[in-house]
Amino acid sequence: MDWARYTPAQRMKRYGAFFGVALLVTWALGSIDVIWEWVWDAPVQLADLFTRMVPPDPTNLESILWATWETINIATIATMIAVVLSLPVALISAQNTTPNVVCLWIGRFILVSSRSVNTIIWALLFVAIFGPGIIAGIIAIMFRSIGFLGKLLGEAIEEIDPAPVEALQACGASRFRVVLYGIVPQVMPAFFAISILRWDINLRESTVLGLVGAGGIGIILQGAIDTFQWQEVSMVLLTILALVIAGEVIASALRKKLL
């Protein structure tokens, strides 16, 4: 018996699609302005930079650690506020708990507008409003987190088992109490998991906020790069690495404890 996975027409279509993608990639590569000399030069530059970065310079360690502490505070405070603010947004943007269609669309609008703007862009905006510093950083992280938390929590609410909810409705419980007894216990694990995950992400995001003047360790990093203090740059990078690893460890420990 003669058997083929694809008919000749299907095969032609697949070849065509492959060829099309290849053409697109070639065109994309051609259209960007690559200065190839710099690319070939990269390994030499890398080695050179490395020699200038070693050994890391700890003279400014105190201010680096202080900025690290500030970074942790930005991430933690912003996450906490965002968690609280995202709760009502999640409730109104989940199909099964929204009071009405208007609320559903308001909720979704908040989620989309928060999520579609990157933290750095939010930070630029809030630095312009509040001036440089930690407040702009906190609010930027918070704005971005509301969308993330609200979206994931809203999805968790939509995925609950509706059977207990039906039972509570049959008892004559009001809408709020049905949420309280039927939905809250079911989304509790997701709520903690999502909050911890976002804190972890925020810790990393707040390390770069300083690049646009919104507080944290990024300010020192930016200053060191601008003044070619490569040994200090490497010190800052090592601190950030330690911070991120510590955050990861704390997050997974919390996850284990709470879930």
Partner 1 sequence: MLEINNLVKRYGKGAPVLKDLNLSVQGEQLMSIIGSSGAGKSTLLRCINRLVEPTSGTITLNGTEMTTLGPKDLRRARRRVGMVFQSFNLVDRLTVMENVQSGRLGYISTWAAVTRRYPAADIERAFELMERVGIAQYANKRADELSGGERQRVGVVRALMQRPEILLADEPTASLDPKTSEQIMSLLRDLANELNLPVIINIHNVTEAKEFSDRIVGMRYGRIIFDDKPAALDAAQMDEIYAGTPSQDRQDMGAAA
Please give the residue ranges that form the binding site for partner 1 (CB under 8 A): 163-164, 166-174, 176-178, 180-182, 185-186, 188
Instruction: Report CA torsion sign: 131, 134, 139, 145.
Output: positive
Which CB, 41 or 166, lies closer to partner 1? 166
CB-based contact 147:110 (threshold 8 Å): yes
Which CB, 128 or 188, lies closer to partner 1? 188
Which CB, 21 or 188, lies closer to partner 1? 188
3-state secondary structure 28-52: HHHHCCCCHHHHHHHHHHHHHHHHH
Question: Cα(97)–Cα(179) distance, rounded to whole angstroms?
Answer: 8
Closest separation in Å from C-beta 178 to partner 1 = 8
Question: Cα(259)–Cα(250) distance, rounded to whole angstroms?
Answer: 14
- What tokens were used for 163? 């059977």
Which CB, 47 or 180, lies closer to partner 1? 180
Which CB, 188 or 241, lies closer to partner 1? 188
Determine the 3-state secondary structure of 193 from DSSP.
helix
- What tokens were used for 160? 């609950």
Question: Cα(238)–Cα(160) distance, rounded to whole angstroms?
Answer: 43
Helix axes 101-116, 61-93, angle to 10 degrees: 160
Closest separation in Å from C-beta 196 to partner 1 = 18
Which CB, 30 or 172, lies closer to partner 1? 172
Closest separation in Å from C-beta 189 to partner 1 = 8
Closest separation in Å from C-beta 161 to partner 1 = 8
Closest separation in Å from C-beta 179 to partner 1 = 11
Closest separation in Å from C-beta 187 to partner 1 = 10
Which CB, 14 or 175, lies closer to partner 1? 175
Measuring CA to CA, which residue among 157, 164, 167 is closest to residue 189?
157
- What tokens were used for 166? 């039906």
Please report where in the chains the tokens 């928060």 appear, as a residue. Answer: 114
Burial class of residue 172 (count of CB atoms within 10 Å of its CB; 0-12, 13-18, 19+) = exposed
Closest separation in Å from C-beta 172 to partner 1 = 3
Consecutive H or E run containing 27 = helix 8-31
